[in-house]
Amino acid sequence: MSFADREGWIWLDGRLVPWGQAHLHVLSHALHYASSVFEGERAYGGVIFELTEHSRRLHRSAARLGFDLPWSVDEIDAACREVVEANGHRDAYLRPIAWRGAADMGVSARSEANVHLAVATWPWGAYFGEESAARGVRLELARWRRPAPDTAPTDAKASGLYMIATLAKNEAEANGFDDALMLDWRGQVAETTGANIFFVQDGALHTPPPQCFLDGITRRTVIELARNRGLAVHEGAIWPDELESFDEMFLTGTAVEVMPVAEAGSWKFEIGPVARQLRADYLDLVNGRGAVPKSRAA
């Protein structure tokens, strides 16, 4: 059975429809000109982690692309919960996506009356496989770079920004790697194709500032968890020739959660105690077993 032919329900424009009947028109503006935005979320034990923050970011991303969503944050939250319940999922991945439909054909998109929203959900385990946390993932150095913030809406989770991510990840997998490490337009370390990056040096965290990529919700959560443990977190430019000075490297994101890295290009890293601890802390938090970070406890 193909992914498009799965069983289940998708929330589409205000109602649940069978999975295989959630269609869009072939002349949708989003299909031709990438006028779409989306979110990636996870439910743990039936509870969607940081649901409202994801719905707020979906609204911000849509506005960044010049269209308004006709559903409020609360309504999007409710749609996400409805589709998780309708599919009977406890642990699952969610994909809310909003796009311009087939009102106009051309680069410009003047009609605001043809915006659509869908939410799909399905069971999805470890992004890189269950064994990856123990061995660490392997990253190829991508030939594609993240664009400058004055060349693309890099602060939006916009579908068009993932074209080069797909190219980079496909090439990395074809060469035997798990993913790709992407530099930015200046040649500084940026992120992978779908996750933020952290390094560990002498027990302190180092991470590039989100100047041309998303300041991920998981990224911010892990920074809070690290500070809860008294770890220093430094945000600043990281050049590739600095990577040999770091002890550990790990990724963060809704899909990858917290994932250690064994190698990135020619650089090797240990699967060390900081990444292991923060991964454990994160999984405890999202599964309701851990302490809430101090900044969220109020």
Give the pLDDT score at 297: 46
Residues 287, 144 share a domain: yes
Length of the chain: 298
Q: Determine the Cα–Cα distance for residues 112 and 110; give it in Å rounded to an integer.
A: 6
Q: 127 lies in a domain?
A: no
Residues 198, 77 share a domain: no
Q: Catalytic: 294? A: no
Q: 58 lies in a domain?
A: yes
Supply the pTM of this predicted model: 0.93
Task: Walk along the chain (298 residues) in steps of 10 and give the mean pLDDT of each run.
Answer: 84 97 94 96 97 98 95 98 96 97 82 86 88 94 97 97 98 98 98 98 97 97 97 98 97 97 96 96 91 52
At residue 156, what are phi and psi to the nearest 5 degrees? Answer: -110, 150
The residue segments making up the domain with residue 200 are: 132-296
Report the number of distinct structural domains present in the chain: 2
Residues in Cβ contact with 3 at an 8 Å cutoff, skipping those fewer than 6 apart:
none
Given the residues 157, 169, 268, 294, select the one marked as catalytic. Answer: 157
Residues 237, 156 share a domain: yes
Do residues 96 and 58 lie in contact, with contact meaning Cβ atoms separated by under 8 Å? yes
Give the pLDDT score at 127: 87
Torsion angle defined by CA atoms of residues 119, 214, 258 and 90, in that order, rounded to the nearest 10 degrees? -10
State the CATH number of the domain containing residue 25.
3.30.470.10
